[in-house]
Amino acid sequence: MDAFSKEDRIYFATKNKIAYAKKSPFLEKEIISRVISSKEFQKSISKKQYFTEKLKRMHAAEHKLYKCFMKRIKNLPFETETEDLLNYIPSYEEIKNTNSFSFFCGTTQALFLISFNLLHLLINLFINPLISFSLSFIASYSFIYLIQKKYFLAEPNELEIEIAKAALKKVLEGEKHDTDTHIIY
């Protein structure tokens, strides 16, 4: 499963489906979710975006939900049907109380690889390779944790968490393209 955040919506994708959820522009407490094609997804993410506070909150909601959900399904058999996973979507409280840091974030992995390789090269010149590896790993992990928390994440509110839940639910439901689901939370 993969996930992606924008300022106004959150996407979740499985091997053959992509869905998103966003706040309704008409009703204050309504969320709209939809299954889309990969072509529509590519078109919608092609615009450059900056990390505004809203995007940071959406990004954190995506991370928190993903982390909770993966923790809940980690011991399930691989053959579990996608629709059966709907029972494992975590509650709002569970998501709210989860740390938003995720090592599986694409930005984080890129930063980790760059910082780890640079540090390992430099430290390896002066210290035993095994110690160099360990120090580089710890320093890089700490660095990306701080960078992700400061520049890429902010504490999500209830709406943003519910949007993330709606997107995940939609991708797991298996509905056809171009059908909107409206949820009042």
Each residue's pLDDT tens digit, 105-143 = 887 888 899 999 999 999 888 888 889 999 999 999 999
Which regions of 6-101 does DSSP assign to beta strands (E)?
9-13, 18-23, 30-36
30 pLDDT exceeds 90? no
- Name the residue with tokens 């939370």: 185
User: Residue 130: phi, psi to the nearest 5?
Assistant: -70, -45
Residue 68's pLDDT is what? 96
96 Ramachandran zone, left/alpha/beta (phi>0; psi -120 to 50): alpha
Residue 14's pLDDT is what? 83
Strands 18-23 and 2-5, bridge-based pairing = unpaired
Looking at every residue in the chain, the average pLDDT score rounds to 87
Contacts of 27 (CB under 8 A, 6+ apart): 184
185 pLDDT exceeds 70? no
98 pLDDT exceeds 70? yes
Each residue's pLDDT tens digit, 38-90 = 888 887 776 777 778 999 999 999 999 999 999 999 999 988 888 889 999 99
- pTM for this structure? 0.82
3-class secondary-structure state, position 77 = coil
Each residue's pLDDT tens digit, 12-23 = 888 778 888 998
**H-helix or E-strand spanning residue 107:** helix 106-124
Residue 181's pLDDT is what? 66
How many whole angstroms separate alpha carbon 135 and alpha carbon 129? Answer: 10
DSSP 8-state symbol, 35: E
